[in-house]
Amino acid sequence: MARRKSKFRRIREKYSIIVDGKCEKWYFQLLKKHENLQSVDIVPELLSRRKLKDVFSLVVGKIKEGYDKVIWVLDFDVLIKEDKETRKRGKKGKIQEFKEYVDRLRKHKNVFVLVNTPCLEFWYLLHFRRTGRYFGNCDKVIKCLKKVELLSDYEKSERYYKKASSDIYEKLKPFQNAAIKNAESLGDFDFNDCQRAKAEIYKVFEIIGVSTERNRV
């Protein structure tokens, strides 16, 4: 007897990755391209306004739209600067506001909030160096990053990130395992001790199911 064809089809998973900068957007676009992620949709989002409440609303909106997983990636250097400015004016600090949003999202098991301190470039640096040094701002990280021969010409531009001869994801990929181990060793972001170097972006690979075992130095 011939088998009946299953009436159930594999549903394509939908992942939304919400970022707060163009560099993150380009990086994730390249990740999708090189990892050949045909079974999932990665949707890098970039808001024209960077207000925390707007990003939080976008995250909640993606949950309601039925995305399987929603990932919010945030660079903490900007938040630290804004936190100092708002508290000087006698208003609620931005770090406290962010914490309140994170607490409200904890009930959603398919939502992941990942913090880079100070910025995405620190994640790049971990591909080449095992360090827990805290950088006060992103410019200091980039200065250190440019000492790496492979990224000596680094710049925050789409032209550089998506260079046809060798885009930034291709450059970093051979060192990816080392970067993940280095980032993991720094532990999770902690609101009680938030001015510590972190690169939680490494968790994206496990969240979206990208195998990194073959990416050996």
Q: Is residue 82 part of a domain?
A: yes
Name the residue among 144, 114, 140, 109 with its Cα closest to residue 128.
144
Among 40, 56, 46, 48, CA closest to 18:
46
Domain containing 49 equals 13-207
Q: Give residue 9's pLDDT.
A: 42
What's the rounded Cα separation, in Å, for the pair 74 and 105?
15
Predicted pLDDT of residue 6: 42
Residue with tokens 């790496």: 148
Residue 70's domain is classified under what CATH number?
A: 3.40.50
The SS3 of residue 64 is: helix
Q: Which tokens go with 201?
A: 């972006």
Q: Count of domains in the chain? A: 1
CA distances 180 to 50, 86, 100, 118, 206, Å, are: 28, 34, 28, 17, 11
Look at residue 131 in the predicted model and tell me its pLDDT. Answer: 97
pLDDT reported for residue 11: 63
Sign of CA dihedral 162, 216, 198, 72: positive
- The helix (run of H) or strand (run of E) holding residue 41 is strand 40-46
For residue 6, being part of any structural domain is answered with: no
In a domain, 107, yes or no: yes
pLDDT at residue 88, as a whole number:
82
Report yes or no on 4 lying in a domain: no
pLDDT of residue 211: 72
**Strands of 69-75's sheet in order across:** 40-46, 13-19, 69-75, 111-117, 198-199
**Residue 2 belongs to a domain:** no
Q: What is the pLDDT of residue 41?
A: 80
Output the tens digit of pLDDT for each of the chain's 217 residues.
444 444 444 467 889 999 988 999 999 999 999 998 877 787 776 666 668 998 999 999 999 999 999 999 999 998 998 888 888 888 889 999 999 999 999 999 999 999 999 999 999 999 999 999 999 999 999 999 999 999 999 999 999 999 999 999 999 999 999 999 999 999 999 999 999 999 999 999 999 988 766 444 3
Residue 74 resides in a domain? yes
Model pLDDT, residue 184: 98
